[in-house]
Structure 1
Amino acid sequence: MNVAERLASRLPGRLGERAERPVVAVVRLHGVITPTPSPVARATINTHALETALTRAFGHERLAAVALEVNSPGGAPTQSALIADRVRGLAAKKNVPVLAFCEDVAASGGYWLACAADEIYAHATSLVGSIGVISAGFGLAGLLERFGVERRLHSAGEHKARLDPFQPEKAEDVAWLKAMQTELHAQFADWVRERRAGRLRGEEAELFSGEVWTGAKAVELGLVDGLGTLRGVVGERWPDATVAVAEPRKPLLARLGLGGAAARFGATPADGMLGAVEALEHRAVWSRFGL
């Protein structure tokens, strides 16, 4: 028992009682999953931003459980896997249960994160699933010529310039991309099978089709364990617990209170354009789920 605990145990009433309460730590996983910490995006998820929050959440002395508050349409598969592995490693070290709570959406990489938990809960209206892999881009062949711009691309290696958006699409490049997507899809499905072993119901062809379901339907399919909210489930399971929220690291401009202005205007016209493109890309990921 440290000094603070000894002092608190001697105090009468609620203060001493509160110091002895178990702790349920909450980690918010909100936003698009991306490997690059963004200075302008309002909310992104990556290992860099989450490390401090995860270590703080699992570091409480009277830790009873950790709750993951998931609200993500997905994103980078490697970041999803790295974060999930980190959660499992910390949970094994502390020997505490991890619960995930799906909010508006826990889809694709967002569902990968949710599967890091021992139990998954969702609201009946949550959007859950999308166990698949997707790639998106633009075909801009001929655009530069129309404006009299000459593009110069030099590479060493036969396949170094695969799927260049300014060149006509090649069938062999599409075949390569689809093969990679198939491999990643298999890894995603294996992760879900491992984490949801004995709880999945329904045909795998349906479960791993990339379809998205409401939380109510996800319960029927065994993708989540039940309907409920963080407040309700934690309040019932640990009625005397202190809930401690561990916030992820915010982007620099957001910490300075400049994120909104920078995203709209940018420090320079180029910055403003990059911020606008980034915002559109993130908006497109959310819009796939009507959000």
Structure 2
Amino acid sequence: MTDPQQPGSSGFDPKTNSVPDLWAQAATNSGAPVSDSSREPGWERATLEKLAFAALNEQRSARRWKIFFRLAWLALLAAIAFAALRQASPSTSTSTPHTAVVDIKGEIASGAEASAEFVVAAMRSALEDEGSQALVLLINSPGGSPVQAGIINDEIVRLKAKHKKPIYAVVEETCASAAYYIAAAADDIYVDKASIVGSIGVLMDGFGFTGTMEKLGVERRLLTAGENKGFLDPFSPQTEKQRAYAQTMLDQIHQQFIAVVKAGRGDRLKTTPDTFSGLFWTGQQAVEMGLADKLGNLDYVAREVVKAEDIIDYTRRDNVAERLAKRFGAAVGMGAVKSLAVSGPQLR
């Protein structure tokens, strides 16, 4: 066995005061040729520089691919948005006679697809089209905001007078509360015999947790400037004065609703004590009560009433970006706030 302390061994040589080249020695033992460049001074630095440049080139290549994929996704989203915009706009020539349709589906509320913003814009586009012979509001909604419904109702009256084209309401499953508020302004209302129609009333709902809080020993610390600033706070007791004030407000909105229905239906309405009580009826009952005119669906109205079988949809809907934002929870925070707040007056 070789003594590591003896000259010529792989250890330190005290006579020459130097350390042997272990890389060269390992290469010699393995039988591989030893390059002279590996014995030259600074070869370690050259090797490190090569490794560093190789890593840098790899990072640059990865960065280029990342930029490429990002641009590809951006181009894809732009193509989807363009296709959605083309799909949202009617493609039929304005010179072709047709029946224009605007959907009013789901909750009637600001920010919803059945909002006044979307519905009014769609109605204007439909009636301004020279080829549209009439506008059909295809309704399937349980109601919603009296403000949004009032805006749409007023615009129906204005557009009928401006364009001199008939506007019909066709009810699918439901036309209740705020939805009927809108339908009342139409020239005629068509329903299915099993449709749900009516519910001419107003409500304001909420919750009260004061008793539960007392049992749990929870104290509500609400600071306000103004004695009624905490009005309808679910964690504070409701006073009789506040309840009476809210009831007066609901009664006033109810009277506005009743006035709109009477103005829209006129002599066709057969008023009974239950007509404006908040009850709802089948489509067949609604026709008998004068809340609707006839039984019929969209195709029937387009074919037999408007005499233009071609149907063009002018409904305005959320674009792709808005739908994606909603799906990924962009409105989660607002929904959490709404879940704790008392809702305003609703026609539903």
TM-score if structure 2 supplies the norm length?
0.65
3-state SS of paired residue (1:32): coil
Answer yes or no: is the 8 Å Cα contact 1:23–1:60 preserved in 2. Answer: no
Answer yes or no: is the 8 Å Cα contact 1:101–1:121 preserved in 2. Answer: yes
Answer yes or no: is the 8 Å Cα contact 1:21–1:241 preserved in 2. Answer: no
Query: In the alignment, which of 105, 114, 118 is matched to residue 30 of structure 1?
Result: 105
Query: In the alignment, which of 274, 280, 305 is matched to residue 237 of structure 1?
Result: 305
CA deviations over 1:162-212 (Å, ceiling 9, x no partner): 111110122211111111111111111111110000101142x21111100
Answer yes or no: is the 8 Å Cα contact 2:123–2:135 preserved in 1. Answer: no
3-state SS of paired residue (2:233): coil
3-state SS of paired residue (1:196): helix
3-state SS of paired residue (2:312): strand
Answer yes or no: is the 8 Å Cα contact 1:33–1:79 preserved in 2. Answer: yes
Structure 1 residue 217 and structure 2 residue 279: aligned?
no
Partner Cα separation in structure 1 for residue 338 and residue 249 of structure 2: 29
Partner Cα separation in structure 2 for residue 189 and residue 272 of structure 1: 33
Q: Partner residue of 1:86?
A: 155
Partner Cα separation in structure 2 for residue 88 and residue 25 of structure 1: 17
Partner Cα separation in structure 2 for residue 188 and residue 206 of structure 1: 15
Q: Could you say which structure has the greater relative contact order, defined with CA pairs below 8 angstroms and 6 or more residues apart? A: 1
Structure 1 residue 96 and structure 2 residue 198: aligned?
no
Q: Give, in angstroms, the shift of residue 137 of structure 1.
A: 0.7
Structure 1 residue 77 and structure 2 residue 146: aligned?
yes
Partner Cα separation in structure 2 for residue 185 and residue 92 of structure 1: 26
- Max Rg structure: 2
Structure 1 residue 54 and structure 2 residue 116: aligned?
no
- Larger strand fraction of residues: 1
TM-score if structure 1 supplies the norm length?
0.77
Partner Cα separation in structure 2 for residue 273 and residue 93 of structure 1: 39
Distance 1:246 1:211, change over 3 A: same
Partner Cα separation in structure 2 for residue 156 and residue 276 of structure 1: 23
Answer yes or no: is the 8 Å Cα contact 2:190–2:293 preserved in 1. Answer: yes
3-state SS of paired residue (1:223): coil
Q: Partner residue of 1:9?
A: none
Partner Cα separation in structure 2 for residue 82 and residue 152 of structure 1: 39
Q: Give, in angstroms, the shift of residue 51 of structure 1.
A: 3.5
Query: In the alignment, which of 240, 246, 249 is matched to residue 314 of structure 2?
Result: 246
CA deviations over 1:210-263 (Å, ceiling 9, x no partner): 10000000000000001110111211123444311112232766533x64x43x
What amino acid does structure 2 have at the position aligned with 1:105? T
Structure 1 residue 141 and structure 2 residue 216: aligned?
no
What amino acid does structure 1 have at the position aligned with 2:106? G
Q: Give, in angstroms, the shift of residue 272 of structure 1.
A: 9.4
Q: Give, in angstroms, the shift of residue 273 of structure 1.
A: 6.3
Q: Give, in angstroms, the shift of residue 271 of structure 1.
A: 3.8
Partner Cα separation in structure 1 for residue 255 and residue 330 of structure 2: 43
Question: How many residues are matched?
Answer: 252
CA deviations over 1:52-96 (Å, ceiling 9, x no partner): 312211221132110001111111111110111112212211111
Distance 1:186 1:21, change over 3 A: same
CA deviations over 1:252-286 (Å, ceiling 9, x no partner): 66533x64x43xxx369x649639959xx9xxx99
Q: Give, in angstroms, the shift of residue 23 of structure 1.
A: 2.4
Q: Partner residue of 2:255?
A: 186
Distance 1:195 1:238, change over 3 A: closer
Partner Cα separation in structure 1 for residue 241 and residue 199 of structure 2: 27
- Please, what is the CA RMSD of the aligned residues? 2.9
3-state SS of paired residue (1:45): coil
Structure 1 residue 274 and structure 2 residue 327: aligned?
no
Distance 1:147 1:170, change over 3 A: same
Q: For structure 1, which runs of at least 5 residues remain unmatched after alignment?
A: 1-17, 38-42
Answer yes or no: is the 8 Å Cα contact 2:153–2:182 preserved in 1. Answer: yes
Distance 1:194 1:99, change over 3 A: same
Partner Cα separation in structure 2 for residue 19 and residue 55 of structure 1: 14
